[in-house]
Chains A and B, each alone.
Chain A
Amino acid sequence: MKLNRRSFIGTTSLAAASLAAPAVLGAGKPRVVVIGGGAGGATAARYIAKGAKGAIDVTLVEPSRSYYTCFFSNLYIGGFRQLSSIAHSYGTLASAYGINVVHDWAVGIDRDARQVTLAGGAVLPYDRLILSPGIDFVDGAVPGWDVSAQNKMPHAYKAGSQTELLKAQIEAMPEGGTFAMVAPPNPYRCPPGPYERISMVAHLLKQTNPTAKIIVADPKPKFSKMGLFQEGWANHYAGMVDWIGADFGGGNVEVNADEMTVTIDGEVTKVDACNVIPAMKAGRICEMAGITEGNWAPVSGHTMQSRLDENIHVLGDATNQGDMPKSGFSANSQAKVAAMAVRGALTGSKVFPAKFSNTCWSLIATDDGVKVGATYEATDEKIAKVDGFISQTGEDADLRKATYEESIGWYAGITSDMFG
């Protein structure tokens, strides 16, 4: 038989393709399903689709058509951002990257059959599954509070309508009224988040209701960027914020949403608005998949693979990975490592050693931004911190302003890295 040029090229490229695709020899196009379209999931879907250039089928399952980022949602409360400015849609991921975006809830994972069931009834088979579901709350974590109380005492720790509700309640407080926050125990999403929120609430009240009081009941003896926040509260909101840490009974808390009371270490306080941020755990789908130990899903830092199922990668807040804080920046960083590992496994593309980084900016008042960050590497045991830095107390106003402006640049950067 005479080989013509076309059939020769066809044969070699087929051979090359099968050599390059060890995991799916003989199968069709490999399939990746991503559950959760936040900083972890959207980034992972985009990087896999971008790198694979059509060689992998990527499906992204996310219930919301409009995704509100948790990061910068405090700035909405403070009046520095419109809610619409933190909303994002999935149009570019679908149109420019060919990702199959499905707006539905994942309600079941069959690990043996490697398929995901959606609330709408669809069944999605996968070669690799990426779970990036974020957090859910631990039942009974704050006595007197459960999800049925979230309209009276919002958590506002998943951004969107909850954030809007909390802001409206703060704005409706009577003159000289009291705002209370029940802060969460470690580990939780966005370590500086509750304290940036206190700063933003104080900023809002200072303008509209300057005699109002803020109480924070905290089960922790100290918190992220504590010195920076306390300095900022003293500088900008003197006498307004009363932080009650674990050493002063801040962990002994009960709330009553019908009466609008908060009881801290036996002392009952009537409040006008109350933000309850309960203890957290991995998004429920992780539990349903049977890949959690305790409240979180343990993963290997080399690939972000579940320690309990090598076909599943878990990203972001839901994971127990080691030293990285639960943040959008961390999830975005982890997503790129997972995307590289998934492409390597399914199409034989090059895999490099995992590297991670994180920076968290917080706004304390107008043009008063601070930040903390670190770099990380994967060891066999965990993701381990390599190096870090934190803003200093007493920094000059220009530097703080530059830090805030940088955070705006970061927001633009990470959201374009997530959503294209």
Chain B
Amino acid sequence: MRAIAIISLWAALAGAALSDEAATAIGDADRGAKIFKKCQACHQVGEGAKHRIGPHLNGIFFRPAASFAGYKYSKGMRRAADSGLLWDLEGLEAFLTNPRKAVPGTKMSFAGLKKPKDRADLLAYLRQFSDNPADIPEAAPTARKVEIDLPPEVLALVGDPDFGEYLSTECTTCHQTDGDYDGIPAIIGWPTEDFVIAMHAYKQKQRDHPVMQMMAGRLSDEEIAALAAYFAGLE
């Protein structure tokens, strides 16, 4: 089976008419590692990678869409999976070009990579973390992008979701509670730690966005924890 999978990857690469050189066929993995910074706020890849806002990307090649039991996918992604979406080179290419066009209703808040070379390089990077082909060594674990240092006691705060529900009414003027993304990101179902880090990053003005800096700027540690707890529980 593995041999067949490898062969079909090669076939896909040849079909993409990028190069005959298998190992470098997709693109420049080093450059792809830099492009992956755009993805790191939500996705982990490499040794020890876990699901965060988005699912981890180890072994993404040839995995059927929406196939991790431990991750809450959007309805849109589950629909696409039901109709047979497979993360082969073609599927990944289409998705990365325009995520919302390829999978309507996806909660991935990313506009897409318009340049073919950017997609090729990113996929070359990601392919290193898939078992097939096995001749490419596993790269060093990719550290998740932590934007700020927060005292452990702040990260350890357990938020009150009822309080969070009240506070959330300020968020829902823009962020839709059903997770739809129309130009403002979906914020439901995030791991609480990611939510807390993101909000503190805005509060400390480490993350750029004037509206979010203002909104987060007046939230206390407890309020941020409460919002994280509330939004984490929404599907």
Binding site for B on A (CB under 8 A): 47, 329, 332-333, 336, 340, 350, 352, 355, 357, 359, 371, 373-375, 386-389, 391, 405-414, 416-417
Known: A405-B183, A406-B184, A413-B174. A352 touches B166 (CB 8 A): yes
Instruction: Name the residue among A333, A374, A375, A408 with the largest chain B CB count within 10 angstroms.
Output: A375
CA gap between A371 and B213 in the complex, in Å: 14
In the bound assembly, the distance between CA atoms of A373 and B218 in angstroms comes to: 14
CB distance from B7 to the nearest CB of A (A): 42
Contact B170 A407 (CB under 8 A): no
Residues on B with C-beta less than 8 A from A411 are 182
**Does B235 have its Cβ within 8 Å of any Cβ on chain A?**
no
* Per-position binary interface string of chain B over residues 156-197, scored 1 when its CB falls under 8 Å from any chain A CB and 0 otherwise: 000000110011011011111110111110000000000000
> Nearest Cβ distance between residue A399 and chain B, in whole angstroms?
9
A412-B182 contact given A333-B170, A373-B210, CB 8 Å threshold: yes
Assess whether A409 is in contact with B218, with CB atoms less than 8 Å apart.
no
What's the minimum C-beta distance from B108 to chain A, rounded to whole angstroms?
A: 14
Does B174 lie within 8 Å of A350, measured CB to CB?
Answer: no
Contacts of A357 in B (CB 8 A): 170, 173, 214-215
Decide if B211 is an interface residue (CB 8 Å cutoff). Answer: yes
* A412 cross-chain contacts in B, Cβ below 8 A: 176, 180, 182-184
Query: Would you call A409 and B169 a contact (CB within 8 A)?
Result: no
A/B pair count, beta carbons within 8 Å: 80
Task: List the B side residues contacting A359 at CB < 8 Å.
Answer: 174, 211
A contact residues around B180 at 8 Å (CB): 412, 416
CB < 8 Å neighbour of A410 from B163, B174, B210: B174
Residue of B nearest to A387 (CB): B214
State whether A373 and B211 are in contact (beta carbons under 8 Å apart), knowing that A336-B169, A406-B184 are contacts in the complex.
Answer: yes
A386 — which chain B residues lie within 8 A by C-beta? 218
Interface class of chain B by DSSP = loop
Supply 15 further A-B pairs (C-beta < 8 A) apart from A47-B169, A350-B162, A350-B166. Answer: A329-B173, A340-B166, A357-B173, A359-B211, A371-B210, A371-B211, A375-B214, A375-B217, A388-B214, A389-B214, A407-B183, A410-B183, A410-B184, A414-B173, A417-B173
Q: Closest residue to B175 on the A side, CB-wise?
A: A413
Shortest beta-carbon contacts, A-B, top 10:
A409-B183, A409-B184, A412-B182, A389-B210, A336-B169, A413-B174, A408-B183, A405-B183, A409-B182, A410-B174
Secondary structure call for the A interface: helix
Give the complex CA separation of A419 and B55 in angstroms.
Answer: 32
CA distance A47 to B172 in the complex (A): 12
Given known pairs A409-B183, A409-B184, the reply for A389 and B213 (CB within 8 Å) is: yes
Give A360 to B172 CA distance when docked, in angstroms.
16
Q: Select one of A332, A355, A373, A413 contacting B214, CB under 8 A.
A: A373
Q: Can you list 12 A-B contacts with CB-CB less than 8 angstroms, sorted by A residue number? A: A340-B166, A352-B163, A352-B167, A357-B170, A375-B217, A386-B218, A389-B214, A405-B183, A409-B174, A412-B176, A414-B173, A414-B174
In angstroms, Cα B100 to Cα A408, docked, is 15
Distance to closest chain B CB from A106 (angstroms): 26
B49 to nearest A CB, angstroms?
29
Residue of A387, A407, A410 touching B173 (CB-CB under 8 A):
A410
Question: Per-position contact with A for B9-41: 1 when CB-CB < 8 Å, else 0?
Answer: 000000000000000000000000000000000
Chain B residue with the shortest CB-CB distance to A358: B173
